[in-house]
Amino acid sequence: MDSLLKHMVDMTGHRDHTMLDVSVMAAVQELAGASQTRVLSITTVRGQQYVRSRAIICAGGAARVEEQPDPNLPGEPLGAYPELADCIARHGTSAQAVSGEGKLTLWLPIWFGDKADTCLEIMHPTPYSADTIHVIGGIVSVYRNFQNLLDYSERDSLTGLLNRKTFDDQLAKMLQASSEAEAAAPAPERRHPSDLERQWLAVVDVDHFKLVNDKFGHLYGDEVLILIANLMQSSFRANDRVFRFGGEEFVVLLRSTRLDSARNIIDRFRTNVEAHDFPQVGRVTVSVGFVSISAYESPVITLGRADQALYYAKSHGRNQVCDYEQLVAGGLLTAVASNDTAEFF
Ligand SMILES: Nc1nc2c(ncn2[C@@H]2O[C@H](COP(=O)(O)OP(=O)(O)OP(=O)(O)O)[C@@H](O)[C@H]2O)c(=O)[nH]1
């Protein structure tokens, strides 16, 4: 019981999803004597469900966070886990498979309403007793409640996207990835040629949104924002991060991709919005400004540059995507000084 309490204290002391994942996994691994435990993400990309391992711990080893080997892939198709796929389809709380040698794999999806985007996977040499399942079930309930609390403080209540408060943390993570990539790149590549993979920040703003509110009312305006948030989540990859900064302004952090791909991905989202038939409102468009992220620039400068490109897009016809660096290179924008003391706003 001491051990259970110790784990509960540890789990509920975290204010970060990754640390919570690791702590829950370690608790389950120890209390259930598992041979391996993983935290899986379940994502939906263009109607298909995928499974990706977020964190793993093996018997006798340390817990570790798993990076996606190929950020362009959302993971393995859910169909590769037939018992879990069936459990998700029937909104079940657990699924298991027992191999020919009697080894057990137990899956426990974490449901929030009608959505399960996290699942614990526990492997054990033999099936569990009812008591052990009961203890694991208790841990999963605490995990679910605590994830819910974390989500509540990190998410925008209208769209469910990440809120402004979480942006600095997420940007810092991307900057770290960016500085590691820059340090690993051979010297000539550090000048950012267009074929180098970089991280990107895009600011998205709905065009003439005031007119939508004025003509159809705030409820329809809100619905447009929710639908645009959904289009963002389906247009960008699972590794990218999408935020609502408030009002009709959204920010996207795109992971490791080349300039051409970044432009294509952002433009695909823009055309997805343009092609969408918004109930009652009809056609809505967005303007986007984007810029690469560098570990050597402050977030204010990076956001300021993307904003400059956005305002260029707004003042040159809207419904378009503008690249800050291209505008500066073409003499269409004046570069913002790249140090923290630059006065931009
Ligand atoms: N329905 C709804 N409207 C919002 C929300 N937040 C901000 N707004 C409205 O968004 C509108 C933003 O208008 P403006 O900043 O003038 O810009 P715009 O009409 O989109 O024009 P451009 O950006 O220049 O294309 C204002 O009318 C705000 O009241 C919200 O949460 N829900």
What angle do helix axes 209-216 and 218-235 make, rounded to 10 degrees?
Answer: 140
Catalytic residue among 154, 223, 248, 297: 248
**Which tokens belong to 108?**
């426990």
Cα–Cα separations (whole angstroms), residue 83 to 77, 88, 109, 144: 13, 9, 12, 21
Parts of the chain belonging to CATH 3.30.70.270: 164-329
Question: How many CA atoms within 13 Å lie on the side-chain side of 127?
Answer: 9
Q: Tell whether the model's pLDDT for residue 70 goes beyond 80.
A: no
Q: What pTM was computed for the model? A: 0.72
Give the mean model confidence (pLDDT) for residues 323-328: 96
Among 97-101, 184-188, 197-201, which stretch is predicted with the lowest mean pLDDT?
184-188
Q: Report residue 173's pLDDT band, with 50, 70 and 90 as the boundaries.
A: confident
Q: Tell whether the model's pLDDT for residue 107 goes beyond 60.
A: yes
Looking at residue 220, its pLDDT comes to: 95
Distance of alpha carbon 25 from alpha carbon 100, whole angstroms: 26
The CATH number of the domain covering residues in 2-152: 3.30.450.40
Between 114 and 315, name the one with better pLDDT. Answer: 315
Nearest-atom index, ligand 1, CA of 247: 6
- Please write the tens of the pLDDT for every residue from 118-170: 999 999 998 888 888 888 888 888 888 888 888 888 889 899 899 998 898 88
Give the mean model confidence (pLDDT) for residues 82-98: 94
Looking at residue 175, its pLDDT comes to: 77
Question: What SS3 state is found at 248?
Answer: coil
Give the mean model confidence (pLDDT) for residues 196-220: 94
Looking at residue 271, its pLDDT comes to: 97
**Does residue 207 line the site of ligand 1, with CB under 6 A?**
yes
Between 187 and 51, name the one with better pLDDT. Answer: 51
Check if 249 is active-site.
no
Looking at residue 130, its pLDDT comes to: 84
Distance of alpha carbon 221 from alpha carbon 219, whole angstroms: 5
Q: Report residue 329's pLDDT band, with 50, 70 and 90 as the boundaries.
A: very high
Q: Tell whether the model's pLDDT for residue 321 goes beyond 70.
A: yes
Parts of the chain belonging to CATH 3.30.450.40: 2-152
**Does residue 79 line the site of ligand 1, with CB under 6 A?**
no
Q: What is the ipTM of this complex?
A: 0.91
% of the chain beyond a pLDDT of 70: 89
**Does residue 6 line the site of ligand 1, with CB under 6 A?**
no
Looking at residue 200, its pLDDT comes to: 94
Looking at residue 345, its pLDDT comes to: 33
Measure CA 40 to chain center.
14
- Please write the tens of the pLDDT for every residue from 280-295: 999 999 999 999 998 8
Question: Any idea which fold 164-329 has?
Answer: Alpha-Beta Plaits (3.30.70)
